[in-house]
Amino acid sequence: MTNEPGGMNEGAGHAEGIRLIRESAAAVAPRQGGLRRIRALRFTRPGFDPAIWREICAMGWVGIRIPEGQGGAGLGMAEYCALAEEFGAALMPEPLIGAVLATAVLPAALLADQLSGRRLILPAWQEKTGALHAPLATSFSNGGVFGHKIFVPMAAGADGFVVTAREGYALVPASAEGVSLVLADTQDGGHFGALSCDDAPASALAGDFAAALEEATLATSAYLLGLMDRVFALTLDYLRTRTQFGRKIGSFQALQHRSADLKIQLELTRASVAAAADVLDATAEPASRQAAVSRAKARASDAALRLTREAIQLHGGIAYTDEYDAGLFLRKAMVVANQFGSSAWHRARFAAIAPDSEDEGP
Amino acid sequence: MTDPFPPPAEVLDQLDDEAFRLVVRRFLAENYPPALRNPPKRLHWRENKVWYLKLAEKNWLAPGWPREYGGMGLSAAKQIIMTEEFERYGCARVNDHGIVMVGPLLIRYGSEEQKRYFLPRILSGEHIWCQGYSEPNAGSDLASLRTEAVLEGDHWVINGQKTWTTLASDANWIFLLARTDKRAKQQQGISFLLVPMAAKGVSVRPIINLELHDEFCETFFDNVRVPRENLVGAINQGWTMAKALLGFERIFLGSPRQSAYALTRLRRLAEHVGISDAPVFVDRYTRLRLDLADHRALYETYVAKLRRGEALGADVSMLKVNQSEIFQRISEFMLEIAGENAGLLEPIEGNRDLHPAGIFIQARPASIYGGTNEIQRNIIAKNVLDLPA
């Protein structure tokens, strides 16, 4: 019963859709087996596999949040979270969450290209570190974008960017004049792009990016959930098989109790993510949505760092080698934990928006 | 014409969850003695008797017993709603060992005669039960218990000592685990016995706990003789029966109410000492709120399981560990911010909502009773994570 994906939290309404998502994810984002493909892609450009990206598009996953009438899959957040969780468990470098986020503001023709994989548009929404919302300096006027966007994951693979500006959203082609992209490697072997626009020609976009940003944050929490679920499974396997002092090390109480605590953090994250997905699927009310998302992201970020850190310690020296897989999970967690707002930022937002209701006690 | 309130159990069981919740709320508003709301300590029989008898009168005393035995026959899901509403309303816990333990034990394993004799007397409040499990040298390792029962003719002769017998001084009956076969392996030589507290050789000594409350007792058995028929079920099967009695009620050890209650007191304390807006307070307070909110989400997944009619597995231990430790963290933070008030024996300025020391002390045993958190972690490691022995 340890590693049933999603085990206990799925409501009957979503259960079947979630099961199908997980099953279909297994082919592209395997939970089991080696991580050779993931290793091979590290520190390469664009850092993910275009062929796998085409498969992802063919599965219809980029359009998971787009209504069926517009060519998408029209699925809910519970399903999207299940998918992101599977991606996390497989340490997928393909930029699903960014691509899904961009679909919120793409007009029909571009959307069709994005969903089919003909083009990859990634969001460039961030100007400050660690925060989901901050005042923007980027401007968009007379068809030109001025500004500097940072931390765009997998930017090297993008054909264009959704740029958030004070005036609204703009689509900036990667090859446009006045656009420069500087890449910085990340711990997991991927990269962030820093996008500078100096009167870059752009077209205006319409749509609701704010709500989609919340969804991307929750999907990121689910990605972390999958990641920690798998690294914990890896760790338990090791504890069950590694022998020292003539005993399986998993029989030592010091390690058992640490493992029990990690299991609790893992299940709290699962419950928190599932509860937040239910909130997003049930209400359009911004404060409730934001509070639920912040709660899940704060938990997932902290728990993912803890689980991956402890995975190293519970393994011992072997996990300090790059050859052993535990490090892949740690370095992925280091990159993802602070994306879409750090745990500290989300706690502060939760404190600011979630009413401290008497419902918490008599 | 209005229907009688509350509706009979058959009708209650058919209500949907929300309608049932409203019935429970109305029932409490109409019937619960106002003076007994949110008692600071576990009440004695002389104090909570009025509520026990009110529940008995309304036939609301035994939500989980089948209706044929005078219970309400409610589903696990409805019993949880009832408990949630009782907790929310701040209801005192009654002397409920007869209801929660002895009733289910006898209904499942008792003889017809035992059922006929004991069950109505529990429901009427004539018999108040206490539990004789732990011993001075058998706490977490309960199976090492040494209280002994030897069959002499038609009587069991019992010698030994039980401890943590909650509210034994209120009780007129005790159900106990005693060793009936010293040669068998530890778990296999234990039997269930029912003993009147008035029997010759039974004596009770209250234990004053850290709350300076006499909730617990030590109970001594010195050549106590009870009839042979006071054995429940088969001889030497007591351990198996005791384990089987650990039903879905284990979920209540993980109920978020205790922490929720403490958290509101933390906030009021912070307001009282004037730090509720200080960033350093807000950050830690928010962590605790989030801990509790996520705990509640996890708890709800178990409630949902019960609602679907599934049994609880060993993983329910996670709830107990997490809840008790959140409760303790809240109480420790209260002590930290309370200044010198942290040392007060009584609530600050007589305000029962401002009693950091009281909550801190109350939080101590939460990680001990019901199986220490260390035992719970052992259970999680072995039975959930499948780690080797």
Question: In a 3-state reduction of DSSP, which class is residue B203?
Answer: strand
> Which of A8, A236, A268 has the CB atom closest to B385's CB atom?
A236
Indicate if A190 and A274 belong to the same structural domain: no
Q: Domains of chain B by range and CATH?
A: 9-94 (1.10.540.10), 129-237 (2.40.110.10), 246-384 (1.20.140.10)
Alpha-carbon torsion angle A138, A141, A142, A147, nearest 10: -10
Give the distance from residue A355's alpha carbon to the nearest chain B alpha carbon, in angstroms. Answer: 11
Rounded CA-CA distance A28/A86 in Å is: 10
Place of tokens 């690294």: A231
> Which of A2, A261, A350 has the CB atom closest to B286's CB atom?
A350
CB contact set of A275 (below 8 Å; sequence gap of 6+)? A9, A292, A295, A296, B297, B300
Q: What angle do CA A226, A227, A229 make, to 5 degrees?
A: 65
The reply to whether residue A263 touches residue B385, judged by beta carbons under 8 angstroms, is yes
The reply to whether residue A256 touches residue B382, judged by beta carbons under 8 angstroms, is yes
Within 13 Å, how many C-alpha atoms sit on residue A10's CB side? 22
> Which of A253, A271, A356 has the CB atom closest to B297's CB atom?
A271
- The tokens describing B250, both together, are 């284990």
Indicate if A201 and A248 belong to the same structural domain: no
N- to C-terminal Cα distance for chain A? 36
**What's residue B111's pLDDT?**
97
**What's residue A348's pLDDT?**
95
Rounded CA-CA distance A278/A13 in Å is: 11
Position A9 pLDDT exceeds 80 = no
From A116, A140, A171, the end of a domain falls on A116
Q: What is the DSSP letter of A90?
A: T
CB contact set of A159 (below 8 Å; sequence gap of 6+)? A119, A120, A121, A173, A174, A175
The 10 Å Cβ neighbour count of residue A220 is 26
- As a whole number, the mean pLDDT across chain A is 93
The reply to whether residue B388 touches residue A248, judged by beta carbons under 8 angstroms, is yes
**What's residue A7's pLDDT?**
39
For residue B107, what pLDDT band results from cuts at 50, 70 and 90? very high
The reply to whether residue B297 touches residue A275, judged by beta carbons under 8 angstroms, is yes
Query: Phi/psi at A176 (nearest 5 deg)?
Result: -65, 155
Indicate if A94 and A226 belong to the same structural domain: no
Average pLDDT estimate for A280-293: 96
Say which amino acid occupies A238: Y
Chain A residues touching B267 at Cβ < 8 A:
356
Report the b/e string of B334-347 with b at 16+ CB within 10 A: bbebbeebeeeeeb
Question: In a 3-state reduction of DSSP, which class is residue B132?
Answer: strand
Range of the domain at A149: 121-205
User: Which of B126, B249, B300, B336 is the catalytic position?
Assistant: B249
**What's residue A10's pLDDT?**
44
pLDDT digits (tens, 9 = 90+) for A295-309: 999 999 999 999 999
Indicate if A81 and A168 belong to the same structural domain: no
Rounded CA-CA distance B89/A362 in Å is: 7
| pTM of the complete model beyond 0.90 | yes
**What's residue A8's pLDDT?**
39
In a domain, A80, yes or no: yes
Give the distance from residue A178's alpha carbon to the nearest chain B alpha carbon, in angstroms. Answer: 43
The reply to whether residue B322 touches residue A275, judged by beta carbons under 8 angstroms, is no
Give the distance from residue B189's alpha carbon to the nearest chain A alpha carbon, in angstroms. Answer: 28
Q: Where are the alpha helices (DSSP H) in A138-252?
A: 209-241
Indicate if A260 and A353 belong to the same structural domain: yes
The reply to whether residue A268 touches residue B322, judged by beta carbons under 8 angstroms, is yes
CB B10 within 8 A of CB B67: yes
Q: Which of B316, B389, B298, B386 is nearest to A233 (CA)?
A: B386
The reply to whether residue B380 touches residue A263, judged by beta carbons under 8 angstroms, is yes
Position B1 pLDDT exceeds 80 = no
Indicate if A214 and A198 belong to the same structural domain: no
Query: Which residues does A contribute to its contact with B (CB < 8 Å)?
Result: 1-2, 8-9, 11, 236, 239-240, 247-248, 250-251, 253, 255-257, 259-261, 263-264, 267-272, 274-275, 295, 298-299, 344, 347-348, 350-351, 354, 356, 358, 360-362
Indicate if A226 and A337 belong to the same structural domain: yes
Rounded CA-CA distance A57/A70 in Å is: 15
**What's residue A74's pLDDT?**
95
Indicate if A214 and A356 belong to the same structural domain: yes
Higher pLDDT, B126 or B186: B126
What total number of domains does chain A contain? Answer: 3
Position B177 pLDDT exceeds 90 = yes
CB A268 within 8 A of CB A303: yes
Rounded CA-CA distance A183/A93 in Å is: 16
The reply to whether residue B297 touches residue A272, judged by beta carbons under 8 angstroms, is yes
pLDDT digits (tens, 9 = 90+) for B290-346: 999 999 999 999 999 988 889 899 999 999 999 999 999 999 999 999 999 999 999
Q: What ipTM goes with this model?
A: 0.90
Chain B residues touching A9 at Cβ < 8 A:
301
Give the distance from residue A268's alpha carbon to the nearest chain B alpha carbon, in angstroms. Answer: 6
Query: Phi/psi at A168 (nearest 5 deg)?
Result: 145, -155
- CATH number of the domain at A279, please: 1.20.140.10
> Which of A2, A11, A269 has the CB atom closest to B386's CB atom?
A2
The reply to whether residue B90 touches residue A362, judged by beta carbons under 8 angstroms, is yes
Say which amino acid occupies A152: V
Indicate if A334 and A255 belong to the same structural domain: yes
In a domain, A168, yes or no: yes
pLDDT digits (tens, 9 = 90+) for B71-98: 999 998 899 999 999 999 999 999 999 9
**What's residue A357's pLDDT?**
65
Average pLDDT estimate for A157-163: 98
CB B348 within 8 A of CB B310: no
From A94, A116, A138, the end of a domain falls on A116
pLDDT digits (tens, 9 = 90+) for A207-252: 888 999 999 999 999 999 999 999 999 999 999 999 999 999 999 9
At B173, which helix (H) or strand (E)?
strand B173-179
**What's residue A12's pLDDT?**
53
CB contact set of B309 (below 8 Å; sequence gap of 6+)? B76
For residue B2, what pLDDT band results from cuts at 50, 70 and 90? low
- CATH number of the domain at A23, please: 1.10.540
The reply to whether residue A295 touches residue B294, judged by beta carbons under 8 angstroms, is yes
Indicate if A90 and A230 belong to the same structural domain: no
Indicate if A221 and A193 belong to the same structural domain: no
Give the distance from residue A257's alpha carbon to the nearest chain B alpha carbon, in angstroms. Answer: 5
Rounded CA-CA distance B36/B197 in Å is: 27
Chain A residues touching B293 at Cβ < 8 A:
272, 295
Position A203 pLDDT exceeds 80 = yes
In a domain, A54, yes or no: yes
Nearest residue of chain B to residue A3 (CA atoms):
B385
Indicate if A214 and A309 belong to the same structural domain: yes
- CATH number of the domain at A154, please: 2.40.110.10
CB contact set of A93 (below 8 Å; sequence gap of 6+)? A38, A41, A47, A48, A154, A188, A189, A190
CB B335 within 8 A of CB B357: yes
pLDDT digits (tens, 9 = 90+) for A122-150: 999 999 998 898 899 999 999 999 999 99
Position A362 pLDDT exceeds 50 = no
Nearest residue of chain B to residue A2 (CA atoms):
B385
Q: What is the DSSP letter of A43?
A: T
Rounded CA-CA distance B234/B83 in Å is: 32
The reply to whether residue B378 touches residue A253, judged by beta carbons under 8 angstroms, is yes
In a domain, A194, yes or no: yes
Rounded CA-CA distance A308/B165 in Å is: 44
**What's residue B284's pLDDT?**
96
- As a whole number, the mean pLDDT across chain B is 94
pLDDT digits (tens, 9 = 90+) for B263-300: 999 999 999 999 999 999 999 999 999 999 999 999 99
B249 is catalytic: yes
Report the b/e string of A191-206 with b at 16+ CB within 10 A: bbbbbbbeebbbeebe
Position A316 pLDDT exceeds 50 = yes
Average pLDDT estimate for B184-200: 95
Give the distance from residue B202's alpha carbon to the nearest chain A alpha carbon, in angstroms. Answer: 40
Rounded CA-CA distance A11/B300 in Å is: 11
- The tokens describing B215, both together, are 């909730």
Rounded CA-CA distance A52/A92 in Å is: 10
The lowest-confidence range among A174-178, B165-169, B203-207 is B165-169
Q: Which of A250, A248, A251, A291 is nearest to A272 (CA)?
A: A291
Chain B residues touching A8 at Cβ < 8 A:
301-302, 304-305
